[in-house]
Amino acid sequence: MLEMTREEFEELVAEALDRIPPELTRLMDNVAVFVEDEPPAQDPELLGLYEGTPLTDRGEWYAGVLPDRITIYRNPTLRMCEDRESVVAETEVTVVHEIAHHFGIDDERLHDLGYG
């Protein structure tokens, strides 16, 4: 497995978030991004996870709720990548993928757009 500290990986996630166009980040609402080392045991290859209510599903009832949660998993990413450049690329794809879920874009559409 490629070696990278948690701090280094968190910085890559922050850099990927910084590359999201400002016109999109301004639209993000009530969402927090976290880095964890390992995904849930039932899905050990999971690179990222969106948990919450997509913007497209929110209605008048949506108030006073906890933030949506995007989690990016460090170790599965490091296990699948051969070098730092591929970690950077995979992290960016994963961050975009999970943010897209926040905007209500499903996996099928993401695959069509090249964010498998």
Task: State pLDDT tens for residues 23-55.
Answer: 988 999 899 999 999 999 999 999 999 999 999
90-99 burial by CB neighbour count: b if 16+ within 10 A, else e? bbbbbbbbbb
Per-residue pLDDT tens over the stretch 61-115 = 888 889 999 999 999 999 999 999 999 999 999 999 999 999 999 989 988 887 7
3-state secondary structure of 35: strand
Return the pLDDT at 116.
65
| pTM (whole model) above 0.85 | yes
The H or E element that residue 36 is part of is: strand 31-36
Return the pLDDT at 115.
72
Return the pLDDT at 16.
97
Return the pLDDT at 113.
81
Largest Cα–Cα separation, the chain: 47
